[in-house]
């Protein structure tokens, strides 16, 4: 791209390469693979830079930033991309961008006014040149005169000048214009298109002020653009459409886009494209048949000497543009028009190589802002004969006349059961020997399971097909997982109801499975007779009248156990993992609600809410509650709290690093902590996160400070907790804090030589000031005082500068 974008005449090769790059950039989900050398401006074209920002915004908003180093490199990456670009996005587009990108772009100055002023200063000269070059009687030899003697800064206005001449009802010399464009570099042609769009839109505004009718102005503009695009095929349609949607803050830019999409010339090309091939063309091993060049390009561009400025098949080039147009229409609240465009182009979009990803991402990107009618239209992009494994009852809830009513718990239970069968690695697999590891590996593990969709039995074996034959996504495992996410995102009910239903299922999952397997409630067993509160014994207080009561007894999970091949205990653990994995695929709105609902269930648990219970009894109950669900389920001592904590751990293990920032919310909902029992629960929730945060010091320090503050709720100098508890009772928590600090200092498992970092010692010294003296004494080795801390006494910086 960098070599041919400035090379004269290489239009056809350049447009092919640029279109390929656009497809690749929009298909990447780990965008930081594109370019890691953050030195100097990007060598991309202006169009690719803009596409890159859009792709990055979609990826970050719908999937988060995966790694710590990606967050560190984000700012220089954005600076690199925008170093050579003058473009600014509209407020309507920016409001949907993720905050990190929006904040970076908000400060950019819109230089459109300066560009129009520059055009007005050059207009007289440009029009004179265009009159000589483009008049019907102009000599072909003037082409070389123009190329040799025109100022470079005036060349970007050639198409704008031609458009102004045509707007004055003058016929222009298309042959001379084509010869000049052929001698331009491809990037000069792109610059001409962007400039022409700005001049065109500015001219419409001026003509409106002079009393002309908008319909007449738009009709004339479309006729002139048709001259460039269809009559003489001088400019690439896809770049023109992208230039127009990037000016969506102009009230007439998107109207021009819709008019261009509805032109019969384009519809004929689209129809020919769709009838000449199958949407599943990637399944064929032989090379595709290419359309005859003259039919694909038209007479004007098919000759070799013409060096056409766009890639062979204009319809194929629009496959990535149509989805971006839909995004821009939704951003501008034109959902009815977006619905109309999708209706017209639904057959065409079946050929999109990433149509599944398009559906999933657009539902997540605009979650909460899409009307139900448009959601159904977006889902239709997947096609009626799709192999997408939707739930059997999904269409029923989607098409329901009262789609605002939340589906019953059975629907969500079946969704989780589908994930257990098709996504969560089986327990017989080696990686499943540690259930906590399994939750983190599900998104990476591929294995082969046949499935039956609602459309009929379709056998699929990922391992027996080449990767390129799995169109989108790349494995059946991922297909099932993302289909479940699409179903959730398509439901026209508040996210709070969806989260509540899922969390309530998990809180009572053991009781649900045992009842469905035996046909009656659980009787006897340790859970009923030992005094330990279990999930089947009503571990959560009855919910209020204003909250849907979705307890285990309300779910008809018939034959789940027999159909899965697992025992009740095994299946309950896998259901918890599946729920955490599913929630991690959803936008952050769901995460906030999960934290609130999880904290509510924990705080409302009757044995924690009962302040009259002895401390030792509470400690015993917490010990049972926080047992690993795998162990607890074996003797039916699973509790609602244990299940919810396990759900949070599964959820955390599948989150990208960026979204871990919000994990503190659940602890904030639990505060103020007023008992050692609740303190242990808070530490148990965040404990498994700390090793993962050890490589992200700011977030690690924030988490560590939060844990010290929670400790201060119970053992602080001004703590209101009663009765007071001896510091020796929390020796295990002290040990945990010590181990966490050492782990971060080592950057991995603690060794005998591990030492804490100076920044962490400084933080610990500050935050432990809120603690009682007897608790501070147990943590004195984590201070920066050399007299009390062996680490401080041997730290080079502290020894050199003891003050």
- The H or E element containing residue 457 is strand 456-458
Is residue 722 situated within a structural domain? Answer: yes
Cα(5)–Cα(13) distance, integer angstroms: 10
Last residue of a domain, one of 247, 263, 279: 263
Give the phi and the psi of residue 112 in degrees, each rounded to 5: -65, -40
Last residue of a domain, one of 263, 286, 306: 263
Range 486-501 burial, b when 16+ CB lie within 10 A, else e: bbbbbbbeebbbbbbb
Cα(60)–Cα(99) distance, integer angstroms: 10
The answer on 705 and 794 residing in a single domain is yes
Cα(137)–Cα(173) distance, integer angstroms: 8
SS3 716: strand
The answer on 82 and 122 residing in a single domain is no
Conformation bin of residue 547: beta by default, left when phi > 0, alpha when psi is -120 to 50: beta
Cα(685)–Cα(645) distance, integer angstroms: 6
CB 505 within 8 A of CB 413: yes
SS3 12: helix
The answer on 142 and 35 residing in a single domain is no
The answer on 123 and 83 residing in a single domain is no
Cα(695)–Cα(690) distance, integer angstroms: 9
The answer on 255 and 197 residing in a single domain is yes
The answer on 122 and 254 residing in a single domain is yes
The answer on 136 and 94 residing in a single domain is no
CB 293 within 8 A of CB 302: yes
Q: Which of 428, 435, 636 is nearest to 522 (CA)?
A: 636
Output the six-digit token pair for 513.
Answer: 């499975």
The answer on 258 and 117 residing in a single domain is yes
Is residue 407 situated within a structural domain? Answer: no
SS3 453: strand
The answer on 120 and 74 residing in a single domain is no
The answer on 255 and 130 residing in a single domain is yes
The dihedral of CA 225, 226, 230, 231: what is its sign? negative
> Residue 363's Cα: distance from chain center in Å?
10
473 upstream amide cis, omega within 30 of 0? yes
CA quadruple 175, 180, 182, 185: dihedral, nearest 10: -160
Output the six-digit token pair for 22.
Answer: 């656009």
Q: Token match 């222009």: residue?
A: 172
Q: Which residues of the chain have pLDDT under 50?
A: 34-35, 300-311, 385, 429-470, 520-553, 803
Is residue 152 situated within a structural domain? Answer: yes
Output the six-digit token pair for 267.
Answer: 């519809």
Output the six-digit token pair for 410.
Answer: 């059975």
Cα(176)–Cα(158) distance, integer angstroms: 12
Q: Helix (H) and strand (E) counts for the chain?
A: 45, 2
DSSP string, 225-282: HHIIIIIS--S-HHHHHHHHHTTTTSTTHHHHHHHHHT-HHHHHHHHHHHHTS-TTGG
The answer on 59 and 31 residing in a single domain is yes
Under DSSP, the state recorded for 590 is: H
Rg (CA), the chain: 32
Output the six-digit token pair for 680.
Answer: 């242990």
723 upstream amide cis, omega within 30 of 0? yes
Under DSSP, the state recorded for 431 is: G
Give the phi and the psi of residue 432 in degrees, each rounded to 5: -90, 5
Residues forming beta bridges with residue 456, ordered by sequence position: 453
pTM of the full structure: 0.85
Output the six-digit token pair for 760.
Answer: 């962490």
Cα(410)–Cα(417) distance, integer angstroms: 10
- The H or E element containing residue 458 is strand 456-458
Residues forming beta bridges with residue 458, ordered by sequence position: 451
Is residue 347 situated within a structural domain? Answer: no
Using a 10 angstrom Cβ sphere, with 0-12 exposed, 13-18 middle and 19 or more buried, the burial of residue 92 is middle
What is each CA distance from 60 to 283, 322, 676, in whole angstroms? Answer: 31, 21, 39
What is each CA distance from 367 to 238, 493, 589, in whole angstroms? Answer: 28, 11, 9
- Contact residues for 676 (Cβ-Cβ < 8 A; gap 6+): 615, 618, 619, 714, 725, 729, 730
- The H or E element containing residue 99 is helix 99-106
Conformation bin of residue 725: beta by default, left when phi > 0, alpha when psi is -120 to 50: beta
Give the phi and the psi of residue 80 in degrees, each rounded to 5: -65, -45
Last residue of a domain, one of 106, 132, 156: 106
Cα(14)–Cα(664) distance, integer angstroms: 49
Give the phi and the psi of residue 444 in degrees, each rounded to 5: -105, -15
The total number of structural domains in the chain stands at 3
Structural domain including 167 reads 113-263
CB 762 within 8 A of CB 784: yes
Is residue 572 situated within a structural domain? Answer: no
Output the six-digit token pair for 539.
Answer: 């571990």
Angle 99-106/46-63 helices, nearest 10 degrees? 140
The answer on 247 and 133 residing in a single domain is yes
Is residue 159 situated within a structural domain? Answer: yes
DSSP string, 136-193: TT--TTHHHHHHHHS-HHHHTTHHHHHHHHHHTT----HHHHHHHHHHS-HHHHHHHH
Using a 10 angstrom Cβ sphere, with 0-12 exposed, 13-18 middle and 19 or more buried, the burial of residue 237 is buried
CA quadruple 247, 251, 256, 262: dihedral, nearest 10: 120
Q: Token match 């648990």: residue?
A: 605
- Contact residues for 122 (Cβ-Cβ < 8 A; gap 6+): 153, 154, 157
CB 239 within 8 A of CB 260: no
Cα(715)–Cα(779) distance, integer angstroms: 13
Is residue 177 situated within a structural domain? Answer: yes
Is residue 794 situated within a structural domain? Answer: yes
What is each CA distance from 312 to 42, 238, 671, in whole angstroms? Answer: 27, 12, 63
DSSP string, 354-370: THHHHHHHHHHHTTTS-
Range 694-704 burial, b when 16+ CB lie within 10 A, else e: bebeebbbebb
- Contact residues for 57 (Cβ-Cβ < 8 A; gap 6+): 96, 97, 98, 101
């Amino acid at each position: 791209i960098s070599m041919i974008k400035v090379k004269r005449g290489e239009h056809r090769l350049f447009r092919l390469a640029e279109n390929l790059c656009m497809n690749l950039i929009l298909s990447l989900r780990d965008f930081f693979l594109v370019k890691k050398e953050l030195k100097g401006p990007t060598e991309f074209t202006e169009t690719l830079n803009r596409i890159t920002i859009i792709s990055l915004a979609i990826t970050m908003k719908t999937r988060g930033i995966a790694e710590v180093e990606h967050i560190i490199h984000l700012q220089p990456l954005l600076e690199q991309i925008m170093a050579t670009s003058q473009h600014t996005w509209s407020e309507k587009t920016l409001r949907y961008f993720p905050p990190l990108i929006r904040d970076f772009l908000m400060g950019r100055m819109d230089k459109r006014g300066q560009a129009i002023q520059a055009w007005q200063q050059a207009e007289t000269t440009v029009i004179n040149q265009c009159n000589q070059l483009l008049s019907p009687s102009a000599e072909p030899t003037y082409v070389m005169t123009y190329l040799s003697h025109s100022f470079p800064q005036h060349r970007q206005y050639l198409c704008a000048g031609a458009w102004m001449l045509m707007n004055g009802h003058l016929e222009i010399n298309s042959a001379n214009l084509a010869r000049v464009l052929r001698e331009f570099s491809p990037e000069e042609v792109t610059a001409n298109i962007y400039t022409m769009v700005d001049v065109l839109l500015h001219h419409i505004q001026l003509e409106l002020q002079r009393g002309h009718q908008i319909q007449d102005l738009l009709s004339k503009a479309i006729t002139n653009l048709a001259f460039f695009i269809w009559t003489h095929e001088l400019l690439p349609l896809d770049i023109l459409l992208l230039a127009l949607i990037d000016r969506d803050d102009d009230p007439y830019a998107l109207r021009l886009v819709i008019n261009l999409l509805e032109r019969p010339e384009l519809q004929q090309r689209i129809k020919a494209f769709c009838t000449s091939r199958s949407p599943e063309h990637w399944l064929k091993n032989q090379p595709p048949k290419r359309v005859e060049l003259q039919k694909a390009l038209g007479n004007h561009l098919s000759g070799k000497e013409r060096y056409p400025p766009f890639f062979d098949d204009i319809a194929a080039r629009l496959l990535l543009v149509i989805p971006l147009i839909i995004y821009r229409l939704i951003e501008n609240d034109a959902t009815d028009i977006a619905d109309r465009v999708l209706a017209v182009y639904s057959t065409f979009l079946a050929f999109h190589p990433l149509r599944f990803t398009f559906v999933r991402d657009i539902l997540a990107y605009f979650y909460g802002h899409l009307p139900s009618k448009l959601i159904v239209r977006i889902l239709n992009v997947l096609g009626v004969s799709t192999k997408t494994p939707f739930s059997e009852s999904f269409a029923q809830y989607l098409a329901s006349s009262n789609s605002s009513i939340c589906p019953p718990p059975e629907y969500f239970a079946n969704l989780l059961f589908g994930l257990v069968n098709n996504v969560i690695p089986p327990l017989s697999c080696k990686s499943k020997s540690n259930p906590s590891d399994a939750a983190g590996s599900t998104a990476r593990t591929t294995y082969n399971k046949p499935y039956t969709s609602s459309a009929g039995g379709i056998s699929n074996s990922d391992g027996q097909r080449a990767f390129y034959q799995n169109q989108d996504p790349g494995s059946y495992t991922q297909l099932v997982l993302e289909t479940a996410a699409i179903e959730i995102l398509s439901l026209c009910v508040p996210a709070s109801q969806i989260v509540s239903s899922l969390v309530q299922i998990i809180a009572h999952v053991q009781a649900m499975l045992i009842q469905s397997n035996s046909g009656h409630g659980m009787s006897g067993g340790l859970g009923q007779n030992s005094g330990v509160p279990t999930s089947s014994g009503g571990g959560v207080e009855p919910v209020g009248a204003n909250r849907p009561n979705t307890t285990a007894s309300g779910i008809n999970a018939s034959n789940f156990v027999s159909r899965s091949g697992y025992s009740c205990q095994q299946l309950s653990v896998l259901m918890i993992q599946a729920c955490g994995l599913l929630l991690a695929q959803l936008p952050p709105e769901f995460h906030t609600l999960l934290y609130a609902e999880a904290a509510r269930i924990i705080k409302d648990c009757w044995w924690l809410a009962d302040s009259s219970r002895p401390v030792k009894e509470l400690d015993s109950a917490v010990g049972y509650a926080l047992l690993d669900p795998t162990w607890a389920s074996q003797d039916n001592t699973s509790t609602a709290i244990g299940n919810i904590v396990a759900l949070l751990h599964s959820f955390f293990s599948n989150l990208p690093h960026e979204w871990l920032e919000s994990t503190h919310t659940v602890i904030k909902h639990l505060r103020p902590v007023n008992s050692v029992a609740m303190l242990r629960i808070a530490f148990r929730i965040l404990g498994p996160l700390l090793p993962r945060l050890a490589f992200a010091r700011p977030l690690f320090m924030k988490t560590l400070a939060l844990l010290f503050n929670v400790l201060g709720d119970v053992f602080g100098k001004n703590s209101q907790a009663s009765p007071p508890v001896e510091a020796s009772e929390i020796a295990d928590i002290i040990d945990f804090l010590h181990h966490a600090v050492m782990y971060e200092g080592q950057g991995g498992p603690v060794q005998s030589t591990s030492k804490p970092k100076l920044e962490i010692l400084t933080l610990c010294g500050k935050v432990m000031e809120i603690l009682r003296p007897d608790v501070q004494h147990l943590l004195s080795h984590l201070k920066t005082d050399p007299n009390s801390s062996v680490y401080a006494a041997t730290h080079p910086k502290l020894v050199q500068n003891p003050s």
